[in-house]
Amino acid sequence: MPPATADRPSTASTDAGFLDAMAALAGGVCIVTALGPDGRPAGFTSTAAMSLSRTPRLLAIGVDRAGRTLPLIQRSGRFALNILGAGAEGVARRFAGRTADRFAGLEWTPDENGLPLLTRYSSHILACRVEEDVPAGDHRLLIAAVEEITPGQDGSTALVHLGRDYHTIQ
């Protein structure tokens, strides 16, 4: 990126500048799912997931403090990370929106702990147990142990988010 000039001022100190910079960072698209105490599934679209450690198998996700799914994860200590593959843009948009029941009419199956698995739309699914819950601004950073890995559909494609849109890569 060229340096700031009179014609192109720096936006580093603005929310818009930060969001523009993050839009240039490609991220794998996942659906984080959890189960409520009433047995109803919940979830949200995320590009804030990362591998943390191979031994032990750990990953980290960022979760919005204001989201509906965070309290369910905190209560149960578990979530599933559904890594989306090709053709899952509609699912990603559904879980990123304000839809009241994101699972309505959607095919999913529970794992042995009841976690909602979106096998039809995912390349892989990681069932996780929260090890640490760290405050991080308007989010929480959850560090989790991967307890189970379930293959989904074709693992040779991935859905990524870049430039405020979804793209499939192989």
Which has more confidence, 168 or 14? 168
Residue 10 lies inside a defined structural domain of this protein? no
Tokens 């960072």 belong to which residue? Answer: 25
Residue 139 lies inside a defined structural domain of this protein? yes
Residue 63 lies inside a defined structural domain of this protein? yes
Q: pLDDT tens for residues 40-63?
A: 999 999 999 999 999 999 999 999
Question: Once rounded to an integer, what is the mean pLDDT over residues 96-100?
Answer: 88
**What radius of gyration do the chain's Cα atoms show?**
17
* Residue 59: per-residue pLDDT: 98
Domain with 49 in it: what CATH number? 2.30.110.10
Q: How far is CA 11 from CA 1, 21, 30, 56, 143, in A?
A: 12, 9, 29, 40, 31
* Residue 8: per-residue pLDDT: 61
**Residue 116: domain span:** 27-168
High-pLDDT (> 90) share of the chain, %: 77
Kindly indicate the confidence band of residue 14, based on its pLDDT and cuts at 50, 70 and 90. confident
